[in-house]
């Protein structure tokens, strides 16, 4: 009914005109997909045309969506006005539709001008050809290129030596280890591998990592360190003076054995600047350490404490080949190469050209692994530039970037420039951003998230990104991009008008390098002044560590991600951002989520991780038909009434739902079970129930799950990850056909004494974690029915011994069992 009502009014606008605009949009997008080579030809007239086409395509997309939005909104309206709007257009709709009509006519005139201009330049927009979506051909497992494997090829001895020095118990006074080498030699990668090693994490009470860079402010680095070691939010640190921050760090570290990593230090007085307003890093004679990386030897020797300087040498010829071949000719590819000896001969010569630099070897090897053609390898060797400075690395990067299979993947790679230097990027978050940006195309038989994972795997295999860390029990993976690659991405993104990055600490300012191209994406980082993005047509706004962000009316915003920053004016404007796909408010305070959030009918992801709202999460959020991922953090949330849940079950597209320690009322659990039970597409569910955060004056009627949750949850057909905490029942049952796709299960603080598992339940479960099952005196025999189980961890369950009969049987069938106190 809504469609017919609006379509009637569109008679004045012209439904055929909307269809025409959609066709023209597809035509323009096809040209833009094929525009890379045209733009890189550096033809100024073509550059202007590309810019005009992109502007027109975005404007057309906005208009088409505005018309579609009215249909969706009327379809979802409730009550008397909802009934009216389904049969006849409201006056407000008439006004809006007339505006749409005016916009369509304006864009049509603009398109006519573009086509006339293209004709004069003899560019045929009709024959550009739709660039088909190519899947990367090689889908090797991402873990084949696991965490920082670059450093483990060639630097094994250095890794062990430096870890030994850091954890040396014979030296109690505060001391430093400095790693010195040129850019791309592996300093940061080696330092990160050391920082994340289990020996280091177990030895020190607290650890912190900060990236210094060429331009930095001491107080900002200190605030970063303080946040990491104390857990305080940046917003609460904004009003503190430098000496106050330094004193609080000093007092905290005085009681702890600590490791502080200062990465990418350029100036000899950096250590003095960090300690100038008070000795932030005390020597408590407890074996605390500082790890420093730098390109300058005088910087490495200038730290005012006993220092071991470790010059990181370039890789020799044999180690260079070992690293290069692990990337270019991995074992899973060698078996299908007929003339592998010829490739090895060419590869050894190419490896020599990389001058022993691990980054160059890894990126070139990753690129060539996708081009297993002897002629191509020979051509690269023949055309190799004679210089051995930064131009070599840029040449390799440009080749690898140009060789990416399609424009979607190139956009995904350039997007990494939006994250701060050395930032650990959560893979799930990155994928949600890519999808919101429309970088991930629809592919038959694949979810968008699955296609995005394949894209990420492609970037990892090419060594354009590296795995930073993986929390295996929850399947959480993070990546990072080398600062040399990031700098290249920032420059390329600016040049293309793809993204503007404004970062005070690294000295990166300004807009696109071409006055012909307007960037529709902006990223602000590490700014102490209040910012208010002024471009009215901006589609993406990302902010990291800002003192204050004031949101103007950004009508066409599609991605908003604010992290570690104060946000002003949010509740006033957010309801009007009808095009929004992604909303991320991370580690913030003082934010109110208004009921108008329900008007964002295209919203796919909301992430409130680490943010404490000044309001309850409104139930209007669940009126959004496109919502796929909801990370609600520790915020107050009450599930909608059961009648609502049952009415909306066909519209529920939620795939991920995370909730931590929330208010639980009398009917909360009952309503929650029904609410979750309607999420038929849910793949990831994490719910922790416990005490409220300190300082909140809220009375808890209950803080536990009272009924067996399994009979409801096991019916979710797509669930692959489940994290649950707080069940107080004595018995629990998983039926024969329950949890058909569940792969990872973590249960905590259960009072279960008897857990029944029928034959056939959880057929794909591979990892199981049980935490603090205080009343379970022996493992359930039903665990033997879990045929795919290969990893079981028991935390805080001393009553289960290694003599447990079920435990022994599991071990005999090959399951790894860990008892962790």
List pLDDT tens digits, range 185-209.
Answer: 888 889 988 998 889 998 999 999 9
Summarize the chain as % helix, strand, coil (round to 5): 40, 15, 40
Contact between 637 and 659 (Cβ < 8 Å):
yes
Residue 512, pLDDT > 60, answer: no
What is the tens place of the pLDDT at every residue in 73-88?
A: 777 665 545 555 555 5
Residue 100, pLDDT > 80, answer: no
Closest alpha carbon to 748 in 666, 788, 691, 690: 690
Contact between 260 and 291 (Cβ < 8 Å):
yes
pLDDT, residue 101, reads 78
How far, CA to CA in Å, does 468 sit from each of 197, 229, 351, 480?
11, 20, 25, 6
Q: In whole angstroms, what is the distance from residue 367 CA to residue 361 CA?
A: 10
- N-terminal to C-terminal alpha carbon distance within the chain: 62
pLDDT, residue 138, reads 54
pLDDT, residue 232, reads 75
Q: In whole angstroms, what is the distance from residue 452 CA to residue 446 CA?
A: 10
Beta bridge partners of 733: 756
Top pLDDT among 336 and 602 is at 602
Q: In whole angstroms, what is the distance from residue 17 CA to residue 432 CA?
A: 33
How far, CA to CA in Å, does 6 sit from each of 23, 396, 547, 636?
20, 54, 45, 38
Q: Are strands 476-480 and 466-471 parallel, antiparallel or unpaired?
A: antiparallel
Q: In whole angstroms, what is the distance from residue 716 CA to residue 681 CA?
A: 7
Contact between 209 and 261 (Cβ < 8 Å):
yes
Mean pLDDT, range 42-47, rounded to an integer: 64
Q: In whole angstroms, what is the distance from residue 561 CA to residue 523 CA?
A: 9
Q: In whole angstroms, what is the distance from residue 681 CA to residue 656 CA?
A: 9
What is the tens place of the pLDDT at every residue in 606-656?
A: 999 988 888 889 988 988 989 999 999 888 887 877 766 666 655 578 888
Three-class secondary structure of residue 231 per DSSP = coil
Looking at 181-324, which runs of residues are DSSP E strands? 206-211, 258-265, 289-294, 307-311
Residues 6+ apart with CB under 8 A from 490: 417, 499, 501, 508
Q: What's the pTM value of the predicted model, to 2 decimals?
A: 0.82
What is the tens place of the pLDDT at every residue in 703-717?
A: 346 678 899 889 888
| Number of residues that this document lists for the chain | 821
Q: In whole angstroms, what is the distance from residue 541 CA to residue 573 CA?
A: 14
pLDDT, residue 604, reads 95
Q: 503: how many CB neighbours lie within 10 A of its CB?
A: 20
Residues 6+ apart with CB under 8 A from 531: 524, 543, 546, 548, 549, 550
Task: Report long-range pairs for 395-399 (Cβ below 8 Å, ≥24 apart).
Answer: 396/360, 396/363, 396/364, 396/367, 397/363, 397/485, 397/488, 399/364, 399/367
Half-sphere exposure of 665 (CA within 13 A, CB side): 10
Residues 6+ apart with CB under 8 A from 460: 142, 145, 466, 467, 479
- Max CA distance (Å), the chain: 84
Contact between 163 and 197 (Cβ < 8 Å):
yes
Q: In whole angstroms, what is the distance from residue 416 CA to residue 409 CA?
A: 11
Q: In whole angstroms, what is the distance from residue 216 CA to residue 505 CA?
A: 5
Half-sphere exposure of 218 (CA within 13 A, CB side): 19
Q: In whole angstroms, what is the distance from residue 644 CA to residue 641 CA?
A: 5
DSSP class of 575:
G
Contact between 473 and 767 (Cβ < 8 Å):
yes
Structure tokens at 79: 């009550």
Three-class secondary structure of residue 688 per DSSP = strand
Residue 169, pLDDT > 80, answer: yes
Structure tokens at 336: 């299908």
What is the tens place of the pLDDT at every residue in 758-809?
A: 999 999 999 999 999 989 999 999 999 999 999 999 999 999 999 999 999 9
What is the tens place of the pLDDT at every residue in 110-134?
A: 878 877 777 776 666 555 444 445 5
Beta bridge partners of 688: 660, 725
Mean pLDDT, range 683-697, rounded to an integer: 56
What is the tens place of the pLDDT at every residue in 584-599?
A: 999 887 788 999 999 9
% of residues, the chain, pLDDT over 70: 79
Half-sphere exposure of 466 (CA within 13 A, CB side): 26
Mean pLDDT, range 237-242, rounded to an integer: 78
Sorted by where each starts, the structural domains of the chain and their CATH numbers stand as 1-121 (no CATH), 155-311 (3.40.50.300), 322-382+390-403 (no CATH), 405-503 (1.10.10.10), 516-692+701-761 (3.80.10.10)
Structure tokens at 690: 């416990």
């Amino acid at each position: 009914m809504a469609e017919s009502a609006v379509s009637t009014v569109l008679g004045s606008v012209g439904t055929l005109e909307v269809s025409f605009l959609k066709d023209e949009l597809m035509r323009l997008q096809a040209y833009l997909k094929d525009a890379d080579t045209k733009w890189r030809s550096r033809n100024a007239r073509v550059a202007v045309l590309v810019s005009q086409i992109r502007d027109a395509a975005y404007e057309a997309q906005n208009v088409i969506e505005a018309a579609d939005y009215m249909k969706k909104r009327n379809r979802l309206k409730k009550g008397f006005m909802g009934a009216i709007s389904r049969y006849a257009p409201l006056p407000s709709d008439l006004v809006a539709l007339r505006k749409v009509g005016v916009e369509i006519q304006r864009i049509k005139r603009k398109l006519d001008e573009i086509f006339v201009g293209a004709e004069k330049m003899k560019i045929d927009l009709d024959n550009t050809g739709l660039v088909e979506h190519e899947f990367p051909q090689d889908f090797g497992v991402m873990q084949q290129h696991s965490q920082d494997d670059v450093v483990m090829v060639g630097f094994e001895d250095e890794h062990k030596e430096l870890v030994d020095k850091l954890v040396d118990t014979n030296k109690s006074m505060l001391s430093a280890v400095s790693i010195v080498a040129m850019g791309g030699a592996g300093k940061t990668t080696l330092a990160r591998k050391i920082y994340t090693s289990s020996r280091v994490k177990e030895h020190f009470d607290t650890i912190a990592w900060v990236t210094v860079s060429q331009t930095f402010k001491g107080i900002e680095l200190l605030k970063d360190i303080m946040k990491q070691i104390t857990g305080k939010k940046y917003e609460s640190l904004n009003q503190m003076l430098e000496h106050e921050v330094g004193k609080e760090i000093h007092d905290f570290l005085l009681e702890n054995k600590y490791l502080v990593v200062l990465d990418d230090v350029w100036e000899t007085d950096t250590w003095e600047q960090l300690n100038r307003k008070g000795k932030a890093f005390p020597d408590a004679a407890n074996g605390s350490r500082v790890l420093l990386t730098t390109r300058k030897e005088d910087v490495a020797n200038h730290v005012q404490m006993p220092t071991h300087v470790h010059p990181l040498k370039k890789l020799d010829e044999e180690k260079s080949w070992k690293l290069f071949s692990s990337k270019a000719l991995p074992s899973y590819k060698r078996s299908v190469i007929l003339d592998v000896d010829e490739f090895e001969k060419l590869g050894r010569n190419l490896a020599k050209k990389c001058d022993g630099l691990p980054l160059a070897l890894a990126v070139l090897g990753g690129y060539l692994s996708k081009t297993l053609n002897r002629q191509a390898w020979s051509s690269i060797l023949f055309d190799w530039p004679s210089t051995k400075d930064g131009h070599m690395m840029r040449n390799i990067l440009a080749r690898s970037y140009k060789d990416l299979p399609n424009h979607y993947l190139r956009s995904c790679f350039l997007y990494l420039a939006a994250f701060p230097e050395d930032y650990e990027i959560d893979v799930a978050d990155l994928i949600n951003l890519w999808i919101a940006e429309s970088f991930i195309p629809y592919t038959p038989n694949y979810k968008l998230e699955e296609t995005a994972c394949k894209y990420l795997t492609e970037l990892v295999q090419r060594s354009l990104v590296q795995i930073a860390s993986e929390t295996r029990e929850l399947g959480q993976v993070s990546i990072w991009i080398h600062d040399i690659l990031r700098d290249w991405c920032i420059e390329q993104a600016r040049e293309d008008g793809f993204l503007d990055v404004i970062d005070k600490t690294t000295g990166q300012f300004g807009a696109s390098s071409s006055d012909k191209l307007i960037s529709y994406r902006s990223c602000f980082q590490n700014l102490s002044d209040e910012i208010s993005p002024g471009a009215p047509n901006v589609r993406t706004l990302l902010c990291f560590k800002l003192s204050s962000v004031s949101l103007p009316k950004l009508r066409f915003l599609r991605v908003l991600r604010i992290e570690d920053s104060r946000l002003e004016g949010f509740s006033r404007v957010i309801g009007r951002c009808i095009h929004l796909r992604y909303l991320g408010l991370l580690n913030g305070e003082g934010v109110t989520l208004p009921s108008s959030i329900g008007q964002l009918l295209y919203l796919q992801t909301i992430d409130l991780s680490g943010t404490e709202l000044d309001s309850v999460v409104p139930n209007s959020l669940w009126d959004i038909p496109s919502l796929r991922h909801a990370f609600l953090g520790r915020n107050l949330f009450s599930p909608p009434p059961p009648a609502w849940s049952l009415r909306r079950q066909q519209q529920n597209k939620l795939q991920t739902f995370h909730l931590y320690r929330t208010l639980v009322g009398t009917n909360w659990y009952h309503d929650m079970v029904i609410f979750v039970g309607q999420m038929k597409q849910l793949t990831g569910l994490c719910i922790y129930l416990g005490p409220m955060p300190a300082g909140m004056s809220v009375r808890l009627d209950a803080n536990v799950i009272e009924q067996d949750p399994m009979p409801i949850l096991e019916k979710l057909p797509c669930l692959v990850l489940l994290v649950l905490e707080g069940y107080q029942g004595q018995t629990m049952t998983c039926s024969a056909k329950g949890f058909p796709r569940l792969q990872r299960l973590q249960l905590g603080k259960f009072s279960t004494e008897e857990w029944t598992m029928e034959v056939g339940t959880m057929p794909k479960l591979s990892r199981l974690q049980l935490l603090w099952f205080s009343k379970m005196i022996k493992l359930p025999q039903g665990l033997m029915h879990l045929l795919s189980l290969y990893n079981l961890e028991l935390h805080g369950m001393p009553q289960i011994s290694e003599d447990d009969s079920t435990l022994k049987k599991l071990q005999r069938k090959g399951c790894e069992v860990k008892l962790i106190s």
